[in-house]
Structure 1
Amino acid sequence: MKAEVKTKFLIDYCHQHEWGFQGGQLQSPIDIQTNQTQMERTRTGIQLNLSTTPATFFNNGQNLQLLGSGQACLNRRVIDFVQVHFHADGEHMIDGEQFPLEGHFLFQSPNGQTGVIGVLYRAGKHNLDFDHILNQYETEKGEGTFSVESLIPENKSYYHYIGSLTTPPLTEGIEWYVLQNVLEVSAEQLDRFISIHGKNSRSCQSLNDRKVIEFGE
């Protein structure tokens, strides 16, 4: 029997096969096999400039988001921050290991190209910045404090591949940057997120001969 959670959504993670589908062989998330990644010297690191001004709470029917402002430089291109949301359990796996939480920081350029920075979290020490997000999720307030200091690793080494959104319509052509360094949230915070949001993790998809690039700072 499914545990009762605070928030209701329009999609059911227990019936993922019924989701509307727009795509083919470039789906996300994936299980990143680190012994099969490729180093690419021409790539550059990630630079972030995310505003600490209040962010707006939004439930889009699929997940709870915080809409904010700021920019990222991804592979020499500056694109605008749109929103952040989280998945429990984590969606991307590393060498078969699944993490209890994953944050998706979504950016979009004026021409519509979307890039997502994925951050994995394990159970550990209390994370003050995640607490602020949980407070907004719980109260469903329009505005509140948003900081990423403890939500995004200082070292932004990453795995990069071309994939898709992990919620319908599962649109492909998304640039993924899954950070290698794992951060922590407390077990209590994980339980609190699940009590508000429920489990919302899409199953890993086939790589289908895609290249996964590794960049180390």
Structure 2
Amino acid sequence: MKAKFLIDYCHQGDWEPQNGLRQSPIDIQTSQIESNDTLAKLQVNLSETTATFFNNGQNLQLLGAGQASFNNRVFNFVQVHFHADGEHRLDGKIFPLEGHFLFQSANGQLAVIGVLYQVGAFNPDFEQVLNQYDQEKGSGSFSVASLMPENKSYYHYIGSLTTPPLTEGVEWYVMQNILEVSAEQVLRFLAIHGRNNRECQPINERKILSYNE
């Protein structure tokens, strides 16, 4: 069943505001990445029991429970949603799917773990997501075992939300390790959700850092 949304990805120029210098997504150029010894290991602990389906008018989300530690600061898990094509690029390469795991700290700071997926093996956890999307179920089983890499080496930069209001100051942690979903699963997502990737934005003067486990 095709979901309905309030924003039009074919007319992204109509989205407001778009005048910031720290917008997302970006094309991550690995040759320009800077090392930084102040970054810390990313720790994630999500509840793998149930997640609640929610269409916020911009994307299909699964709301869940859990926490993550970003540079030794605790953030609470809010929701996960997906984009096809993937929004971030690596050295110009476009991926067929990207997952965004959104977290928020007690003081309102937002952080997103971005996971890129390539076409390959069938992904059972993404299938559970698709089943909830397809049925628009209130709650269902939820596991991130094959949705988020075990090795959490990441690229880090400061950007924005990729849907209106495009709020800046968002901490991005894009996973270096690429996971897999099947070609059939990508097609099924597109049939339900439609293509929903924002165009890449200028990096401007921002630094892209990396942390390797």
The structure 2 residue matched to 1:159, chosen from 134, 141, 155, is 155
| Aligned-pair Cα RMSD in Å | 0.8
Match of 2:96 in 1: 100
Question: d(CA) in 2 for partners of 1:7 and 1:42?
Answer: 42
Q: Secondary structure at the match of 1:8?
A: coil
Question: d(CA) in 2 for partners of 1:21 and 1:209?
Answer: 20
Aligned pairs (5 A) from 1:54-65:
54-65=50-61
The structure 2 residue matched to 1:10, chosen from 6, 9, 32, is 6
Question: d(CA) in 2 for partners of 1:56 and 1:82?
Answer: 11
Match of 1:78 in 2: 74
Paired amino acid for 2:96: P
The alignment's TM-score, normalised by the length of structure 1, stands at 0.97
Unmatched 5+ residue regions in structure 2?
Answer: none
Shift of 1:110: 1.2
Paired amino acid for 1:69: A
Paired amino acid for 1:112: G
Aligned pairs (5 A) from 1:5-154:
6-21=2-17, 24-154=20-150
Q: Secondary structure at the match of 1:189?
A: helix
Question: d(CA) in 2 for partners of 1:93 and 1:22?
Answer: 20
Match of 1:179 in 2: 175
The Cα offsets for residues 115-172 of structure 1, whole Å up to 9 and x where unpaired, read as: 0000000000000000000000000000001100000001100000000000000000
1:23–1:171 CA contact under 8 A, matched in 2: no
Paired amino acid for 1:57: F
Structure 1 residue runs of 4 or more that deviate by more than 2 Å after TM superposition: none
Question: d(CA) in 2 for partners of 1:122 and 1:50?
Answer: 23
Shift of 1:22: 5.9
Residues 178 and 119 (structure 1), Cα distance of their counterparts in 2 relative to 1, 3 Å cut: same
Unmatched 5+ residue regions in structure 1?
Answer: none
Question: d(CA) in 2 for partners of 1:151 and 1:54?
Answer: 15
1:29–1:205 CA contact under 8 A, matched in 2: yes
The alignment's TM-score, normalised by the length of structure 2, stands at 0.99
Shift of 1:41: 1.1
1:23–1:170 CA contact under 8 A, matched in 2: no
Paired amino acid for 2:124: L
Q: Secondary structure at the match of 1:116?
A: strand
Shift of 1:23: 5.1
Match of 2:211 in 1: 215
Paired amino acid for 1:33: Q
Q: How many residues align?
A: 213
Question: d(CA) in 1 for partners of 2:45 and 2:182?
Answer: 26
Paired amino acid for 1:157: S
Question: d(CA) in 1 for partners of 2:209 and 2:84?
Answer: 25
Question: d(CA) in 1 for partners of 2:21 and 2:132?
Answer: 36
